Amino acid sequence: MSKFEFIMMFVSVVVAFAMSELLVGWGRLVRARERISKPFFMVGWSVWLLAVTNFHYLGFWEYGLVNFRTAAQMMLFLAAPIMLVLVTFVFTPEVRHYQKLDLEQHYFKIKNWFFVMVILFFLLARASDPLLPDYQETWFLRIVGTLMIVPSLAVLLFTKNKRVHYGVLFFNLFLLFWSSYSLNVRNL
């Protein structure tokens, strides 16, 4: 087993924790659907988060070319997926038995934690990019998406205006779906 295969095994388990927390959260909400109200923000951002998780996982394959020599390099590579797990734990609401849950109220209660952690995730994901052999040629394309997403999310830290939150949500969903059809996956 190569170093990369060993690291990818660990990363796959970590990313699976993030995805399972998100999907199990959806399952709990579906089961409690009669007691749930105003799910729009939660549905939109959870679809976005699931897509970001998939994009991030696909991006790991580029690191197969990296010769990890130090523990610091491996920790830098692992930091973003670990943050992704924490993001899903913050985002997914706790559904108590027989309790009514206003998901919009939950969203606005956790929004600062959620968006700060998502911003940290994006910064950590970009921090390991210089390890890639083609970083000198591809750094601009790698940073453009982050420079579009991070400031839009940062705006949400300072407002509870629903229109702004919907606008940023739709902008980020559009950006993800557009990039999923226009960007090539490398090294698969």
**Tens-of-pLDDT digits for all 188 residues of the chain?**
787 888 889 899 999 999 999 999 999 999 888 999 999 999 999 999 999 999 899 888 888 888 888 889 889 999 999 999 999 999 999 888 888 999 999 999 999 999 999 999 999 999 999 988 888 888 888 898 899 999 999 999 999 999 999 999 999 999 999 988 887 665 44
16 is a domain residue: yes
Closest by alpha carbon to 35, among 102, 108, 104, 105? 102
173 is a domain residue: yes
69 is a domain residue: yes
84 is a domain residue: yes
102 is a domain residue: yes
pLDDT of residue 186: 56
86 is a domain residue: yes
* Segments forming the whole domain that contains residue 163: 3-182
- Number of domains forming the structure of the chain: 1
pLDDT of residue 166: 97
187 is a domain residue: no
Closest by alpha carbon to 53, among 90, 83, 10? 83
pLDDT of residue 181: 84
DSSP string, the chain: --HHHHHHHHHHHHHHHHHHHHHHHHHHHHHTGGGEE--HHHHHHHHHHHHHHHHHHHHGGGGGG----SHHHHHHHHHHHHHHHHHHHHHSPP--TT--EEHHHHHHHHHHHHHHHHHHHHHHHHHTGGGSTTHHHHHHHHHHHHHHHHHHHHHHTT---HHHHHHHHHHHHHHHHHHHHHSPPP--
188 is a domain residue: no
